[in-house]
Structure formats: C-alpha cells, structure tokens
Amino acid sequence: MITNILSVSDCTDQTSLSDFSPSDKPWDIHASERDQVRNLYLESGHPYARRISDCSQWLDFALTSTDSDEVAFKLQSSKFCRVRHCPVCQWRRSLKWRAKFFQVLPQIREVYPTARFIFLTLTVKNCELADLRSQITIMNKAWQRMVQRKNFPALGWVRSLEVTKSKDSSAHPHFHSLLMVPADYFLDGYLKQSDWTNLWQSALRINYTPIVDVRTVKPKLGVEGDGIAAAVCETLKYSVKPDDLVSSADWLLGLTKQLHKTRAVAVGGVLKQYLADLEKEPDDLIHVDESSQSGEEQGRLRFDWRYKKKQYTT
C-alpha cells in the first residue's frame, strides 16, 4: 500500500512494518487471522493448511520518495496461496476488485454521465450450513429472474455474496449489490423498499417476506469521500467475515465445502464490459493500488512474518 508516513531518516531504527508504515497495519491483522485459519485446517488434516503455510511469509516493499520528502511503501513481491478463505488473500482480492472498479468508474461516467447508483441488500431466511450451497443456487436463480423482469430498473449491476454466521450457528447468506440506474429512475419506475421486497420475494418464489434494504447512493459519482466509495467498499468486500472464519474448525470446513467454486462476485448489464474481470480470480494480488502515483525508488525493504510476535519485521 502506498502510504506517506515518515521522513527517510526516520526509517533507520524501526523494525516492524506497522512502525514504518502505520497504514500497512492491516498486514499484521490479516496475517494473524491467516495463521488461525491455517491452524484450523491443520487440526482437521485439510490440505489447505499446507498451502496457507506458505502464504505471504515475506513482503518485499519498494520505498519511494514523495514530493514532500516522505516515504511511500509499495509492495513489490510476495507469494500468495489464493485459498478462498485465506484472510490475507481475500483481503488482497477485495482491494484489487475495488481498485478495478475505481479505475473504470471515470470511463463509465463518461458514457453514462447522468446515471445514478443504488445499493441493494437482499437476504433470505437463515439456513443450516449443510444447506448453504443449495440455498445459494436458489438465490442465484432468483437473481436471474429478477434482473429479467420488466420493472427491474438497472442498466448494469455488480453483486457479491456474503455469508455470516448467526448466533445459533446457522448460515445467513445475502447479496450486496450496486445497481446503476438511469437518471429518470427517480421520476419514472422508481421502486420503494416495499416494491423491492415484493420483487425479490416473487423472484425467489417464497411465501415469507424477505428482508431487503435499499439505499440511494448520493450523487457526484466517483468523488472521493462520496457515497459511491462506501457502497463499492461494502459490495466488494470479503465474502466471509474473518471473525466468522476463525470461529471454529467445523464452521470453516463446512463453509469451505459449501462455497467451493461458487461465485463471489457477479457483474451484469452494461457494466459487464467494464468489470467482467471482477468475476475472475485476480491474477495479481501484489499491485492493488494502481491509481497511486509512483515516485523515485529509494530502495527496497523486506519484512518477514514473525509468528509469535504476530508482526512483520525486518
């Protein structure tokens, strides 16, 4: 991550990555979660334990100077396991997806200057973990039916699946989606929350009322600090909370089996041509911050993961 933190001279006495670059603190947090997930796989004799053991054990950063004589850290190399539920890899994946979205947003705005975004969350009743896979199949089919309905207003959409663990250990699958709608949607064809609920219920072909939440993203799309950033971050985040991943070996193994080869993110409508890459595993989990400027390289610094300290240090 690029981060402007210290002057070059400050970098001599530090040893930990988070001291050098406080905004890289998430590395320590996610690597620590990664070890917990690895240990749960290990306890269960699952082959993912071995793969995760090699994940992000070292990080090689380029140090570049900025205009204000500060140092920016930019990851240059590491090795990632790409296990779906590895907390480091799912974090990198979500950063990559977000970067991709913000990279193409100006092009989308150029072609659709008056379009607006709405953020829609669609849920179903909780299910047993053992039934999660079939529940997700039902939700995917319902989504397909919904987007084909005449009154579905979006020109394009991005949708992600999140599964949380309920207190009674049942699974709570739900979709977060960002819909791009034409400007006149708010004048003609506008759907209230109750209309969305009816639409989702009828697409699901169920006889209970599902919980649906819809919010309009504030205008001035793409401006930093704008609602679109929060909606994109919420849509393109991890599919399982790290706290839930590490809650128990049974839950982790059940989830691993149930979510195997299910799609985390889907894109449709006119956004497909800009964002189809989001549906694939990103090739590159290293450069997730393409938009940032790069200054002159001042050197390299390598950090190794210290299992006991739960820190990356030099």
* Residues forming the site for Zn ion (CB under 5 A): 55, 80-81, 86, 88-89
Q: How far is the CB of 81 from Zn ion (least distance, A)?
A: 4
Cross-strand bridge partners of residue 299: 63
Q: How far is the CB of 78 from Zn ion (least distance, A)?
A: 10
| Closer residue to Zn ion, CB minimum distance, 88 or 204 | 88
Q: How far is the CB of 158 from Zn ion (least distance, A)?
A: 24
| Closer residue to Zn ion, CB minimum distance, 86 or 212 | 86
What's 221's DSSP letter? T
| Closer residue to Zn ion, CB minimum distance, 89 or 180 | 89
Sheet holding 311-313, edge to edge: 71-77, 58-65, 297-306, 311-313
Q: Measured at CB, which residue is nearest to Zn ion?
A: 86
Measured between alpha carbons, how far is 257 from 219 in angstroms, rounded to an integer? 41
In order of 1, 2, 3, 99, 283, the CA distances from 292 in angstroms are 9, 7, 10, 10, 19
The three-state DSSP-derived secondary structure of 124-136 is CCCECHHHHHHHH
Q: How far is the CB of 204 from Zn ion (least distance, A)?
A: 34
Residue pointed to by tokens 């691993």: 256
Cross-strand bridge partners of residue 62: 74, 300
Q: How far is the CB of 58 from Zn ion (least distance, A)?
A: 13
Three-class SS of residue 37? Answer: helix
| Closer residue to Zn ion, CB minimum distance, 29 or 105 | 29
| Closer residue to Zn ion, CB minimum distance, 75 or 81 | 81
